[in-house]
């Protein structure tokens, strides 16, 4: 296995797992304003990166293709919604529920594979889906409310993957187009906030630097993931993807004292079991493929 690919992918998931701490540091800023700054600074950072890589022609070339442009503009709106829900959830003390969404996400991806790409599931994969569904139902019934944050995060990121699969592009190019899509809305919103005197960007140097760096902390893990995931087996990527929600869950419970009740424990046990079944199944498939090659 490629060592640099493994390290890059692991680093991406660790950064994503630690992001709740970063968003909490910006808790004085509204979720809408954080999102707007995240979009603007991500686009600027990625544009500079493309320029350094001398890849701007790839970006402009992709934009000239109507199908590619529409596809990645749609994805830009989807991922912006995902970012907003996550930031809002963290800053309203729903880190545990947000982490649940990223445990469910692999199962959602499997379901989307069936519906959108007519992929066939094994009995083991159906078992993983059943276990995850039971976990969500337990949380819904026992917790007393529908876990909309978890499911919104899981399904929005699932749709993001579906759209991205339609037209593979280099990660830097695709992400730049995706941040370009909501950029006009973000700029208009920040302009309105500035004119109405509601903006917090200039309220303190700490907030200013924190909002400016949202572009870097958004782009860097995605670029690390784009580099690493292409160099290691997909089963290893599947295993590593549980690093981020596990870190987030620990942060929510241990650092920010969010409740983790018996209902949570039972529901998460089913979902953790689904994740384990999903990962072990992937490892078995990988082992069989290696035997055939040998």
Read off the pLDDT of residues 166-196 as tens digits, 9 standing for 90 and up: 877 888 898 899 999 999 999 999 999 989 8
Q: What is the mean pLDDT of residues 30-43?
A: 95
What band does 223 get if pLDDT is binned at 50, 70 and 90?
A: confident
The DSSP annotation for 126-187 comes to HHHHHHHHHHHHHHHHHHSS--HHHHHHHHHHHHHHHHHHHS---HHHHHHHHHHTTHHHHH
Q: Per-residue pLDDT averaged across 28-33, rounded?
A: 93
Contact by Cβ (8 Å): 122, 281: yes
Cα angle 110-112-118, degrees, rounded to a multiple of 5: 95
Q: Are 116 and 155 in contact (CB under 8 A)?
A: no
Cα distance between residue 136 and residue 153, in whole Å: 14
Task: Say if residues 34 and 218 touch (Cβ distance below 8 Å).
Answer: no
What are the phi and psi torsion angles at 202 (to 5°)?
-100, 10
Per-residue pLDDT band for 23 (boundaries 50, 70, 90) equals very high
The pLDDT-based confidence of 290 (bands split at 50, 70, 90) is low
Say if residue 237's pLDDT is above 90.
no
């Amino acid at each position: 296995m490629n060592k640099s690919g493994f390290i890059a992918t692991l680093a991406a998931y660790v950064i994503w797992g630690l992001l709740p701490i970063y968003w909490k540091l910006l808790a004085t800023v509204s979720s809408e304003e954080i999102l707007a700054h995240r979009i603007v600074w991500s686009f600027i950072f990625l544009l500079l990166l493309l320029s350094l890589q001398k890849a701007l022609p790839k970006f402009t070339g992709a934009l000239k293709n109507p199908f590619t442009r529409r596809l990645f503009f749609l994805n830009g709106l989807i991922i912006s919604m995902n970012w907003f829900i996550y930031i809002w959830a963290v800053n309203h003390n729903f880190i545990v529920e947000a982490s649940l969404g990223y445990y469910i996400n692999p199962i959602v991806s499997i379901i989307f594979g069936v519906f959108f790409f007519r992929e066939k599931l094994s009995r083991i994969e159906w078992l993983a889906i059943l276990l995850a569904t039971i976990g969500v139902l337990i949380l819904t019934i026992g917790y007393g409310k529908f876990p909309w944050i978890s499911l919104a995060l899981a399904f929005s990121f699932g749709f993001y993957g579906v759209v991205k699969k339609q037209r593979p592009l280099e990660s830097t190019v695709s992400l730049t187009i995706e941040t370009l899509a909501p950029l006009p809305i973000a700029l208009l919103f920040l302009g309105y906030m500035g004119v109405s005197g509601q903006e917090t960007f200039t309220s303190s140097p700490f907030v200013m630097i924190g909002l400016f760096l949202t572009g870097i902390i958004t782009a860097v893990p995605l670029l690390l993931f784009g580099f690493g995931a292409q160099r290691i087996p997909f089963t290893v990527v599947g295993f590593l993807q549980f690093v981020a929600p596990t870190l987030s869950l620990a942060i929510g419970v241990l650092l920010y004292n969010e409740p983790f009740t018996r209902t949570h424990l039972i529901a998460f046990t089913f979902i953790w079991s689904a994740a384990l079944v999903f990962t072990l199944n992937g490892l078995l498939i990988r082992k069989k493929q290696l035997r055939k090659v040998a």
